[in-house]
Amino acid sequence: CLSGFWDNTLLDKIPNVRFIQLCSAGYDHFDIATLKSRGIRLANAAGANANAVSEHAFALLLALTRRMSEARDNQHKRFWRGMISDSGAREDELAGKTMLIVGLGRIGQRISRIAKAFDMRVIGIKRSAGAIANIDRIGTQAELLTLLPEADAVVLACPLTSETRGLIDATALAAMKPSAYLINVARGPVVDEPALIEALTSRRIAGAGIDVTATEPLEQASPLWSLDNVVLTPHTAGETRRHEANVIDILIENLDRLARADTVLRNGVV
């Protein structure tokens, strides 16, 4: 099993490899054409971390709306904050709010189910047409700018592709409500990071919950470390006690299929 630390130069060092099982869903860092040319099969671990990542997305959103980072900071200071007189500056509730989910795969669909449990309205962006349970309205990527102004929370759960790279740029951020939050549990390059930093610094959006960044580890000089309207986690959304067991289940099934000379792999990419 391989993780996101893959380097395509490794292919020349393992000439006998015939199958690669990923520990993650993303495979944008693999040279697919070279794998095909060498007859190497590749399968990802889509679904293995659907529960973990969807829960993490909500943890980030709740941390922002309930001001948990501030509460933790105050705890360390032994400061008991009183009630905020300005009701618009207080913690907020999710019920009745609208969530826009970009990417409606396994993770996006589970996020939508959780959102419905919080009595939220859910809209989504997907590549192909067709209704999905728990989604009140579905649009295409071309409709992103028209849907963003409706959202109180924008959750990115899409793969990194040529179409999604830089999808959330300055124009998209300007289309969001000033009171809206951006949650990214997809891939860092889906967001134009300098544009996001500017939007957060100028309070163009209310805040961001970020599990992935353009460069990982995040550069020490990045303003994201210190912005008070950011909750940042180090790409750990899928790192739960169940993760390895879930991936091994997929690996064992694929090894069994290969032993039977099955042409179809579970989560097969190549």
Active site residue 235: yes
pTM for this predicted structure: 0.90
Instruction: Tell me the two tokens of residue 181.
Output: 């939050």
Q: How far apart are CA 203 and CA 214, in angstroms?
A: 21
What's residue 10's pLDDT?
A: 87
The question of whether 90 is a catalytic residue gets the answer: no
Query: What integer pLDDT is reported at residue 26 of this predicted model?
Result: 79
Mean pLDDT split into 10-residue runs, the chain, 270 residues:
75 91 86 93 94 98 97 97 94 98 96 98 90 95 97 97 96 98 98 98 98 97 98 96 94 97 95
Predicted pLDDT at 2: 67
Question: In what side-by-side order are the strands of the sheet with 181-184?
Answer: 137-139, 121-125, 98-102, 153-156, 181-184, 207-210, 230-232
What pLDDT, on the 0 to 100 scale, is given for residue 3? Answer: 64
State the pLDDT at residue 155: 99
Please tell me the predicted confidence (pLDDT) of residue 4: 60
Instruction: Give dist(CA 97, CA 151) in Å, integer.
Output: 8
Burial of 268 (0-12, 13-18, 19+ CB in 10 A): middle
Catalytic residue among 56, 106, 121, 187: 187
Q: Which of 203, 216, 219, 242 is catalytic?
A: 216
What pLDDT shows up at residue 245? 95
Q: Specify whether 91 is catalytic.
A: no
